[in-house]
Structure 1
């Protein structure tokens, strides 16, 4: 018999949960959604109720909101008449995944493993990353994948450490944006992206023309019809540009391709990368947590230790153990 579930929340967390349920073919009956303030009658063709309107006719009530709102949600539920009857049925998204038998889709808890007095955030609040300055060479080499229209990290690496930046982005807006930095001797920009395969590739731009970032695979917020861009593999980029050199930092903001590219880097025959800083995009995929877990496991196996985890900006910084 199908389990009957109710979901508290009608935002992005609920949408990702529904996509995961569909992707993993979880056989459940979604009864209704709950919102503190009901502005709409339905969500994904299911009714939306306020807390005071719900009845004890479900097997699980899944809290699908960010950590910021979880305490408020629990307070709202504790205030209703049937709370004592339903409190044992209230679960988090991760708890529900475990109950459904998909432990691999629960994000592994990676502790901070690299402790250093050299850790600092380089770049703006939005576009910055944490690095360990104590690990940098005299004139550090940085491979910066995914530029968009925000290079505060790259510019501050130059200003503070005289870094040599090799920047890559096939997005038309990024190519136009980087025209202004042609005269900067510390920046070499290349109008192609990084991928597992060399050559031309289909690339999907955002539907919202105010946005910049595109991706190799389409999704709801991206155009259906792609443009064609040039891509190169990690091994080609290294052999053409920095062969035989130590790479001090690899920075990645590549809209989900990191799940393919990080293993390519880590398994390359001449991996001389000291630090990897990356924005993860597991939120774009129904099995994104599983993808991220595999990459985190491989980073650990290859002696890359977590130095900083900025959950708000989805970024993580890793330093290779000597």
Structure 2
């Protein structure tokens, strides 16, 4: 397990160093970073307003990004995470414009098994990778369009995904359905070669997205 974890770290660090150098990044105007050092993201402020629909997939135990957007723009945020520790943490958030859903974001509506992290002290579990040892848990997951239908939304203005390796299947479904959020904030957490990640970004660019910022494995893209 230790060797596997080391290999994973090497692949992720290599992609962090190489892919931004291979990618055309067009910052534009109005980019600001919201949230903590650990949980923050760069956002184009000219594309977010009070009536924006914001989905935040992957909560962990840090909602500094979500709350910063609410304070700055007055918008509402719908956050989703099925992890038991995240569910418990969410119970202590008192902001009325922050809404928590104890479900995962996935490529289909299904019950998935989530595997524990390599470090038991960490909160994040993964439905796509076996990283640590332990029982894990099962949880209901939904597609982006299912969440939108259940919540009565016709569009998503910003989708943040920090979903521990599930981002690629979710992106495939989003591109196939053509339900394209105007802003994507994605952590690419799947261990892969720099060239594979670059191909993934190119698919998004081919669908009309522009890379606005890259910070380690966190990418901000805009559409339209």
Q: TM-score range by the shorter chain?
A: 0.7 to 0.9
SS of residue matched to 1:196: coil
Which aligned segments of 4 or more residues in structure 1 are displaced greater than 6 angstroms? 11-14
- Asked if the contact 2:129/2:165 (under 8 Å) is kept, the reply is no
2:70 to 124, 146, 158: 158
Question: Could you say which residue in structure 1 is the equivalent of 2:143?
Answer: 233
Q: Does 1:216 align with 2:119?
A: no
Question: Could you say which residue in structure 1 is the equivalent of 2:92?
Answer: 180
Q: Unmatched 5+ residue regions in structure 2?
A: none
Question: Could you say which residue in structure 2 is the equivalent of 1:15?
Answer: 7
- TM superposition score normalised by structure 1: 0.62
Question: Could you say which residue in structure 2 is the equivalent of 1:295?
Answer: 200
1:129 to 36, 41, 45: 41
Q: Does 1:189 align with 2:100?
A: yes
Q: Unmatched 5+ residue regions in structure 1?
A: 1-10, 20-63, 68-93, 95-105
SS of residue matched to 1:255: coil
Q: 1: CA distance between counterparts of 2:187 and 2:136?
A: 23
Residue-by-residue CA offset, 1:143-176 (whole Å, 9 max, x unaligned): 0000000110000001101121000001010000
What are the equivalent positions in structure 2 for 1:199-214 lying under 5 Å apart?
Answer: 199-214=110-125
Question: Could you say which residue in structure 2 is the equivalent of 1:31?
Answer: none
- TM superposition score normalised by structure 2: 0.86
Q: 1: CA distance between counterparts of 2:69 and 2:9?
A: 38
- Alignment RMSD (CA, Å): 2.8
- Asked if the contact 1:306/1:317 (under 8 Å) is kept, the reply is yes
What are the equivalent positions in structure 2 for 1:1-322 lying under 5 Å apart?
Answer: 15-16=7-8, 109-116=22-29, 118-181=30-93, 183-219=94-130, 221-223=131-133, 225-244=135-154, 246-271=155-180, 273-282=181-190, 285=191, 287-311=192-216, 314-321=217-224
- Asked if the contact 2:145/2:179 (under 8 Å) is kept, the reply is no
SS of residue matched to 1:263: helix
